Structure 1
Amino acid sequence: MSALSPSTILDALNTGVMKEQGAALDRIDRILLSQHLGNEAAGSDVAVDYCEGDLTFSGSPKWNRWGANAQNTRFQPASAAGIRPEDLPDLELAWAFGFPGAQRARSQPAVTREAIFIGSQSGRVYALDTKTGCAWWTYEAGAEVRNAPVIQTGPGGLPDAIYFGDFEAVVHAVDARTGKLRWKKSIKDHPDGTITGSIALHENTLFVPMSSTEIVSAYVDDYACCTFRGGVTALDGSDGSTKWRWHSVGKPRKVGMTSAGTDILAPSGAPVWSTPTIDRKRGLLYVGTGENYSSPANDKSDAIVALELASGRERWIMQATPGDAWNAACGREPKPNCPSEDGPDFDFGAPPMLVDVAGGGQILLAGQKSGEIFGIDPDNSGKILWRRRAGMGGFNGGVHWGMASDGATLWVGIADTPGNRFAEGPPRPGIHAFDPETGEPQWSRIEPKTCDEVAYKCMTALSAPLSATPGLVFAGAHNGHLLAYSSQDGAVLWKRETNRSFETVNGVEAKGGSIDGAGVVIAGGMVIVNSGYDKFGEIPGNVLLVYRKKVR
């Protein structure tokens, strides 16, 4: 709590992840509690060091969207990456930026030659100069921004607008040069609705993933669980008007009562935690869904679903784990709101990837928290071409947030943190390579614990998504290690410790911690990563780190 300001705690109690607990207190008590627990010094808004002049662009984005491209492959061509294996000895920390009053830095940036666009826990979005870290502009979203911005380009391929979603399920469109608001639109259709994944963009249509915190609300015994419906909302990029909306579950109805005498409502849940994937050739949008929140589970949870880009109509469904209904009530006793199916909570938290394979054609690749990976035929109603176990699986992966592929190799990061009763086989935290056409293993590097304690500082789990460029795969670990692996055999070629304090360009006291949620960005000769993640007992932090080749 010492890292949080009273206003940050009050926001969490009023509208954030603690609002269900805050509802038990009246307004004055919430204010008094936040003042008692918060650190006034942490909330002091250190003056932003603004750049001189105006932001202008000299070319197209260097890393755009969550996955670097609309297919979410997280593979960066050498020309855009500007980092080769032989450059690693000269790669050093250029500057660090501290997020005021934050204990997590889980958003991922979008990058041009001139600016790094990044959201924060406070809801402030920054356009930071790539060379110095000064701010070209800032924008106040009003709620935490947890996802990667997507840049829309205009004439000459130059950035024009930036789109992102906030914790209150509001989509923002701002001017890329000035940070001025163009429009904003709420997609919330449930009190606990939020936007976790990044927005996908195709031909001026925004595809917004819909998730929620109702999974936590169900922890309260007298909460009637559950009514949230996961899905996707398509908006017009020009003005935010709604084009269509698809839900992963039908309208919930009463199906029973809990032991506490509260209604059970189903179907529910099946959120879309990750950014959708664009298939221009087939006119399809691919989304991965999570578990249902109440029983009985339906046929679209823990699934990859293909939707028509133009209408949102379902084309096909590939469900990997039937009968998965789970919520936070399942983690304690008594647990009246725990669904009768009780887990295993095997989401597709990582988006599917559409890749061009060496043998010709395309394949859809997907990784699940179960620890399984899939090769899926996009031309044959989502038929599973191959299915292989890469890790033992768990609540946080298995595959948690994302993989990477160049079409010749599929690189899979595995977390395999302990404590899941549905795990299969031994833990395999680390990085593993597979043939994307056949699923055959190519090589593995299992990362051993760095110390004997059962603590995140010892865990080498790779929960954050991987990022690749020719010869290299970058990863961030639970213990704060930032690594570059050889894409050929998994040898560690470069490693940095981010679980420490950093001097920042904006004067904010900052430290790193667990790297989770957002992955490494490789762009324009830079390696960029956020460090610090406070969920599940991981190591909190509040720093953005920018590494660059030193000039000799």
Structure 2
Amino acid sequence: MIRTLAFLSAFALAGCSVVDDAVPLAQGESGQSAHAEALYAENCAVCHDGGVAGAPTREALAALSPAAIIEALDTGVMREQGASLDRIDRILLSQHVGNEAAGADVAIEYCEGDLTFAGAPKWNRWGANARNTRFQSNSDAGLDLVDIPKMELAWAFGFPGAQRARSQPAVTEEAIFTGSQSGRVYALDTETGCAWWTYEAGAEVRNAPLLSTGSDGNPDTLYFGDFDAIVHAVDARTGERRWSQSIQDHPDGTITGSLALHDGTLFVPMSSTEIVSAYLDDYACCTFRGGVIALDAQNGATQWRWHTVDVPRKVGESSVGTDVIAPSGAPVWSTPTIDAERGLLYVGTGENYSSPANDLSDAIVALDLTTGQRRWAFQSTPNDAWNAACGRDPKPNCPSQDGPDFDFGAPPMLVDLAGGGQILLAGQKSGEIFGLDPDNSGKLLWRRRVGMGGFNGGIHWGMASDGATLWVGIADTPGNKFAKGPPRPGIHAFNPRTGAPLWSRIEEPTCDEVAYKCMTALSAPLSAIPGAVFAGAHNGRLLAYSSEDGSVLWSDETNREFETVNGVQAKGGTIDSSGVVIAGGLVIVNSGYDKFGEIPGNVLLVYRRRGS
């Protein structure tokens, strides 16, 4: 799990209100303000004034509505911390830190008529295909190499009240489907950005929506998961709910990765925010069990559930007397990969939350598609146990192994090699890449270091391959004591069969400050078409590289304000978590990410070739 001591990792903005909870005015406004500031200093400042890398800054919190903050404290990622405050103090704190104007809803401009489809999706699934290779043919991309230098912004869409935009879209010829921090899911017209429909999930939708197709080959149902670990199935044409199903088997359970679909079954990765709960000294750490659940795509019924750890049990006590419970954690916060030919599902796992670590953390695991039984596992980094308590001092809940927190946040890719055969490729936050043999129980074929590694990568969210080349984005942001070698942020190319390096382009910082506005790190997943690889950087720069030598073919600056088609005040920022989508002649990206002190933003950007 990424180091996310975020005050507001995700929560619903829409429909939340603190108006009904009248705040006593006996102290007067100045007295309330002083009391609220004291609450902030005692309960929040240690993280949000720069003490914890994963926490949004106070400036970022000030751009959020009080409703968003109160929900995070009541039922969201900070509910354990909020439980120590009474209801009135939570309201005072949210009103003092937040911005009431940020919660103002904006009228939605709906398209005229009904949404209909005239063909299959142009970009679907997190990885553009079930094997997660993130490679698009020219026909689906609707874009040739000669078109790329001619790309210009067609329109921008602002997400109300948001400080991050991380739900990578699914795209058809007619619509762009994307989630938001508020929990609202949009079907936007590809030409104008008007809304065909909206759907209220109730909690942040941060993964990539997934379209199924009907017997006519046209989109039928849209699937996605929300922060409250609820899977939703809605009519792709109307946005009407078909079913919703909770998969939560732990109070802190959530869905970070995107869903996979095969032969009528949805495969849902299970992650959690218990890594944050462990920050509290009196929290008994830890009991979450990562894994995957398989659901019937027609009705949401559970088919099987698999966990990465056995049932945790008490193994000791912390320095303050709370129980130490293990094994725990090993979340799956990336998208499962389908291997239909072998009947396997491949997943990457994260670190354990408590010591001792088990043998399925920081691993690539193959599961039987039908039963969920484990077929084999490859563990790259044993003895990795870490949680948010390790970022403070004293740290009674920090596992004795204390890191290195080198998850597989990027899903494995099943690649058809040029010249024949297949290989399973994996990239880790350690900064290493791996070639595994899918025909020989995941046997390691090669292993190569690309970057120095770190808690945000190394390889963070994803790579891309066409079978002839593997393209790897490296973040290498500073701050991990387990990093090896010099930082190598940028894009790197390898022979996927052998792991031999082909070329590298190191992106030097754009200014001298140690700040995200200067960082050229590539944390978001790469996306490729014939001749070009698209990437988004921590500083907000959007780039298209030559797939042959890494030269820059085109770029645009997203770290700025944008005029939006829906009238929402919006700006871009860090591009992270969500990758570039190339579909139907469009280049689409979300910009803005408020974690780890990165640059907040709330905009969806749609580019097309000039004159088209």
Aligned residue type for 1:118 = T
Q: Name 2:76's counterpart in structure 1.
A: 16
1:47 aligns with 2:112: no
**Quick check: 1:472 aligned with 2:532?**
yes
Query: 2:386 matched to 1:326?
Result: yes
The match for 1:538 is 598
**CA offset at residue 11 of structure 1?**
1.6
In structure 1, C-alpha distance between the alignment counterparts of 2:183 and 2:86, rounded to whole Å: 24
Give the aligned partner of residue 303 of structure 1.
363
1:518 aligns with 2:595: no
Give identity over the alignment, percent: 81
Task: Map 1:52-201 onto structure 2 (within 5 A).
Answer: 52-201=112-261
Deviation string 1:246-279 (CA, Å, 9 cap, x unpaired) is 0000000000000011100000000001000000
Question: How far apart in 2 are the matches of 1:502 and 1:129?
Answer: 19
2:468 corresponds to 1:408 = yes
Residue identity opposite 1:52 in structure 2: E
Contact 1:407-1:436 at 8 Å conserved across structures: yes
* Separation (CA, whole Å) in 1 of partners of 2:178 and 2:63: 20
Q: Does 1:288 align with 2:348?
A: yes
The whole-number CA distance in structure 2 between the counterparts of 1:20 and 1:530 is 30
Q: Aligned equivalents of 2:72 and 2:144: distance in 1? A: 42
- 4+ runs of 1 displaced by more than 3 Å? none
> Alignment partner of 2:92: what SS?
helix
Other structure's SS at 1:311 match: coil
8 A contact 1:84–1:472 mirrored in 2: no
The alignment status of 1:268 with 2:328, answered yes or no, reads yes
Which residue of structure 1 aligns with residue 450 of structure 2?
A: 390
Residue 549 of structure 1: CA displacement? Answer: 0.8
Q: Does 1:485 find its partner at 2:545? A: yes
Tell me the secondary structure at the aligned position of residue 481 of structure 2.
coil
State the alpha-carbon separation in 1 of the partners of residues 407 and 297 from structure 2.
29
- For 1:497, the equivalent position in structure 2 comes to 557
Q: What is the SS of the residue equivalent to 2:483?
A: coil
Q: Secondary structure at the match of 2:76?
A: coil
Take 2:520 and 2:401, find their aligned partners in 1: how far apart are those partners?
A: 31
> Offset of 1:28 from its aligned partner?
2.9
Shift of 1:82: 1.3
The answer to whether structure 1 residue 33 and structure 2 residue 96 are counterparts is no
Contact 1:363 1:377 (C-alpha < 8 Å) held by counterparts: yes
CA deviation profile, 1:388-442 (whole Å, cap 9, x unmatched): 0010000000000000000000000000001111011110000000000000000
1:210 and 2:270 are equivalent in the alignment: yes
Counterpart residue number, 1:338:
398
- CA drift at 1:156: 1.7
Structure 2 distance, partners of 1:549, 1:101, is: 30
The residue number in structure 2 matching 1:373 is: 433
Pair 1:347 & 2:347 matched: no
Q: What is the SS of the residue equivalent to 1:155?
A: coil
- The AA in structure 1 aligned to 2:254 is T
Equivalent residue, structure 2, for 1:361: 421
What is the deviation of 1:155? 1.9
Shift of 1:83: 1.7
Q: Is the 8 A contact 2:149 2:553 kept in 1?
A: no
Amino acid aligned to 1:193: G
Aligned mates of 1:402, 1:499 — CA distance in 2: 22
- Deviation of 1:19 after TM superposition, in Å, equals 1.6
Deviation, 1:106, is 1.1
> How far apart, in 2, do the equivalents of 1:2 and 1:90 lie?
38
Deviates more, 1:286-295 or 1:18-27: 18-27
The gaps in structure 2 that reach 5 residues or longer are: 1-60
TM-score between the two structures when normalised by the length of structure 1: 0.99
Aligned residues: 552
Q: Do 2:464 and 2:528's aligned partners in 1 also have CA atoms closer than 8 Å?
A: yes
Give the 3-state SS of the residue equivalent to 1:537 in structure 2: coil
* Cα distance, 1:163 vs structure 2: 0.4
- What is the DSSP-based 3-state SS (H/G/I as helix, E as strand, rest coil) of the residue aligned with 1:317? strand
Cα deviations across residues 350-387 of structure 1 (Å, max 9, x unaligned)?
A: 00000000131110000000000000001101100000
Deviation of 1:29 after TM superposition, in Å, equals 2.4
SS at match of 2:596: helix
Shift of 1:37: 2.1
Question: Aligned Cα RMSD in Å?
Answer: 0.7
Determine the C-alpha separation between the residues in 2 that align with 1:106 and 1:13.
22
SS in 1 for 2:80: helix
Give, as a single letter, the amino acid of the residue that structure 2 aligns with 1:170.
I
2:525 is paired with a residue of what secondary structure?
coil
Where 1:420 maps in the other structure, the secondary structure is: coil
AA aligned to 1:261 is: G
**Residue deviations 1:477-513 (CA, integer Å, cap 9, x gap):** 0000000000000001101000000000000000000
CA distance in 1 between counterparts of 2:90 and 2:340 reads 49
Tell me the amino acid that sits aligned with residue 177 of structure 2. F
Q: For residue 250 of structure 1, what is the amino acid of its counterpart?
A: D
